[in-house]
Structure 1
Amino acid sequence: MRHASIIESSKRKIQTTTESLRHILVVDDDPMVAMAIEIYLQRNNFRVTIADGGEAGLRAIENEQFDLMIVDIFMPHMRGFESIRLFHDCAPATPLIAMSGYAFADLNSPAPDFLRMALELGAARCLRKPFTPDALLAAIRGCLAEHHAAAMRLG
């Protein structure tokens, strides 16, 4: 059995203060997707921690504070929406972007709207894979802006 791992990238641009970088947790079992997201976010001045599965992602949020989570809906060892519910329950104040590339073999049958269901379980935004880097950045900035505005209203 493969052990899930957490990787915080050290390949960042030099910043005057690391604390000013927004810290994003990316949970995806596809290493190519995770690496592409990581590189793009680093280029846009985010601090990134990669978790290669649901268990590793849950360990990461137990040990660190994140400004945002990006979580794949379908990963091995977690049944679909279990991951969204668990991540939202463990860190309810942290905005979560759910992503899915799930495709159905039978195109004639009506497909459930997984992304809509993710929103009902606590996701702030949803992205359907494949998505563009601009769509990812827009979703992140939207979530962070809404979260900041909500925090300001609460005091």
Structure 2
Amino acid sequence: MLLDDDASVCAALQAILATQGIEVVTASRAHAGLHALKQSSFDIAIVDIFIPGMGGLDAIQMIRQLLPSIPIVAMTGFRLRPSRNPSMDFLQLAIQRGATYGILKPFSPNQLSHAIRESLAGHSPVQPTPAPEAEYRT
């Protein structure tokens, strides 16, 4: 399940994942994504943090409640300016809400594959720690 409101991002990620034999179902709104998750079985959820309506952070929390064991990769293109308030790291907030892994856009196909592999490997949720280049994982 891929939840992102940007059609070009969805198309690009579908193309990348198709080369790896991964079938992708997309939704542009959280409610549609949650509905799809209730109706079908998915191996992983990839969620953009900033989507209209119910935001990605709330969607991640709802997905975690609905499907406690599904891996969730959170992604965002929003970079914060240096701040004295480190609590405003949106990928860390996503991990605190239940995401398994966080990745900053733009990312390479290899970075996306790495995030998916790490998430599917079943890492236990722990405090987020910086991982290689523009990634956070649990």
TM-score normalized with structure 1 length:
0.72
Q: What is the CA-CA distance between 1:127 and the residue it aligns to?
A: 0.6
After superposition, the CA RMSD in angstroms is 1.6
**1:62 paired to 2:62:** no
| Larger Rg, first or second structure (1 or 2) | 1
Q: What is the CA-CA distance between 1:59 and the residue it aligns to?
A: 0.8
Structure 2: how far apart are the matches of 1:32 and 1:79? 19
The residue that corresponds to 2:23 in the other structure is: 47
Q: Is the 8 A contact 2:47 2:56 kept in 1?
A: no
Structure 2: how far apart are the matches of 1:44 and 1:110? 41
TM-score normalized with structure 2 length:
0.81
Q: Is the 8 A contact 2:30 2:56 kept in 1?
A: no
Structure 1: how far apart are the matches of 2:96 and 2:33? 21
Structure 2: runs of 5 or more not aligned: 124-138
- Number of residue pairs matched by the alignment: 121
Point out 4+ residue stretches in structure 1 off by more than 2 angstroms.
107-111
Percent of matched pairs sharing the same residue = 38
Structure 2: how far apart are the matches of 1:49 and 1:37? 11
Residues 1-80 of structure 1 mapped to structure 2, 5 A cutoff: 25-80=1-56
